[in-house]
Amino acid sequence: MEDKLTRRSFFQMAVASAVVVPFALKAATALAADACPKTAPAGKALGSPTEGMGKSLEYVMDASTSKNPKHKAGDACGSCKFFNQAKADGGYAPCTMMGMKYVTNCGWCKSYSKKA
């Protein structure tokens, strides 16, 4: 009897883990995507909020600091169609609108266009 309960408990835990773990991983991934990277990737040209296209497009490295009225809460480079995720490096990726300079996944500029 005790052996049956143990097997049942094990099976219940396995099923619960199979359901919960993917959600937990997805939530952790979403949080990681929203978090601003702490260090810039070495050897990459970075977009600047104060120079060139970055200045023209009112780029900010942290979307929550944007003063542009066009910015909506939750919009950030990581969900922009110009953010080249395939070449991402440590939370940064090259932006098409910024001459392929690297921008942060949590940044924002007035050319933001949500990925389809």
The contact set with ligand SF4 (CB under 6 A) reads 57, 59, 77, 80, 82-83, 95, 97-98, 103, 107-109, 111-112
Nearer of residues 91 and 108 to ligand SF4, judged by Cβ = 108
**Distance from C-alpha of 18 to C-alpha of 35, rounded to nearest angstrom:** 26
Beta-carbon contacts of residue 79 (< 8 Å; ≥ 6 apart): 114, 115
Least distance between ligand SF4 and beta carbon 96 (Å): 7
The Cα 29–Cα 112 span in angstroms is 22
Minimum Å distance from CB 62 to ligand SF4?
12
Q: Name the minimum Å distance from CB 26 to ligand SF4.
A: 22
